[in-house]
Structure 1
């Protein structure tokens, strides 16, 4: 039984970075304000020729698509008084792959959340406060260490990090788009993805700090009550 408890504890610790990171990715993917910030910062309206209203429509359409049961996206916008389909066949196929990744992220979040809640509930039921707190502190430390590595990698060579992500995540070359004609890469230039990575890392770090703080306070309180 001691081995079983040890395994469940370490699974809990390993779950926490995945829980926080997947939550941050999902939050970024569904954050219209992040899209708008990128559009403004990188002057996407000037690059694409789309008005702010049409850019917001594109962002809303993408967010809706990522959370829908639709297999492919069909998004029509207005430019110079003419309506047209925003994404071509290659972009639509790539967005289908991207949606698959987002849904994988959602499932990882759900799975780790369920395990973390079950473990925490069981620990509280058994009044094993220090054991639970220890797991929270270790999970927080592991998360902070991983975010530090991500931050260093992004600062030293974000382009290489971004390239390796695509090579590992996609089994095709649909992500290799032309910035002179493909609206998807015009909407989301390289700088947007750097900012999104920073956003995700900061959100995950904040979550880890809060979690570690709760764990530390709980550990100290449990120690005093035992004393």
Structure 2
């Protein structure tokens, strides 16, 4: 008698198993997305932070008074220019004001030999137009990078909660390492040959040669010799290291407080 083969349906997953699988997929996918987004946010934070800190310190040093007082003394500028320290400070104040106002040209006027004169000649004035554009770019980048960092911090605090502090510490650590390497290389290069570094900076920053001035006749470069900028750069580097140390300490404190 021939056998009759009957195709029996294979037993599929029950409804409960299917529902659990669906829920697990729903739960895992957002977690992966959250990890990706938090990792990307941490990377952006680590890259933006040194940009903000260095440019913030450039802005701070540029608008300070102590740097100029130190520079006049360190480089004997009063004797080299024939201007009193008061008039040198007056000139520095006009430069700082020029960086922040809408004037196209800088007419730096000081009391020289008993009469008020315009200290800078045409080439120096035209170069200061380029310097102003550069400094306003620094101010703008500082402002927007600071806003971006604040947004990242707030978003991380709300979305990651207790995980935000450990992630911030890791981001700070990698940012500090990268910045430290950059500062060491920059500092070593500056110590070996700051003149070369200074020249390359001008080639990259300006599209003309108006920055090539006479150190014996042009008051702009007499007031601000190369050593002034070298020491300003060193101050900026030291301030940036201090900033990172303070931020790292604050992040560790916050992590301990949050448990």
TM-score class normalised by the smaller sequence: over 0.9
What residue is the counterpart of 1:172 in the other structure? 208
Is 1:16–1:140's contact at 8 Å kept on the other side of the alignment? no
Aligned to 1:210: 246
Q: Which has the higher contact order (CA 8 A, sep 6+)?
A: 1
Query: Does residue 141 of the first structure (1) align with residue 158 of the second (2)?
Result: no
Kindly state the Cα deviation for residue 61 of structure 1 after the two structures are TM-superposed: 0.6
Structure 1: runs of 5 or more not aligned:
none
Is 1:64 the counterpart of 2:100? The answer is no
Equivalenced residue count is 223
TM-score using structure 1 length: 0.93
- Corresponding residue number in structure 2 for 1:97: 130
C-alpha RMSD of matched pairs (Å)? 1.5
Deviation at 1:221, TM superposition (A): 5.2
Gaps of 5+ in 2: 1-32
Mean CA deviation greater in 144-153 or 19-28: 144-153
Alpha-carbon distance in 1 for matches of 2:157, 2:59 = 28
Q: What is aligned with 1:110?
A: 143
Structure 1 counterpart of 2:107, from 65, 74, 84? 74
Cα deviation for residue 220 of structure 1 reads 5.2
Which residue is equivalent to 2:55?
Answer: 22
Distance 2:108 2:209 in 1: 22
**2: CA distance between counterparts of 1:197 and 1:168?**
17
Checking the alignment, whether the CA contact within 8 Å between 1:134 and 1:219 is kept in structure 2 is: no
Query: Secondary structure of the residue that 1:141 maps to in structure 2?
Result: helix
> What is the alpha-carbon distance in structure 1 between the residues aligned to residue 104 and residue 238 of structure 2?
32
Q: TM-score w.r.t. structure 2 length?
A: 0.82
Regions of 4+ moved over 4 Å: 219-222
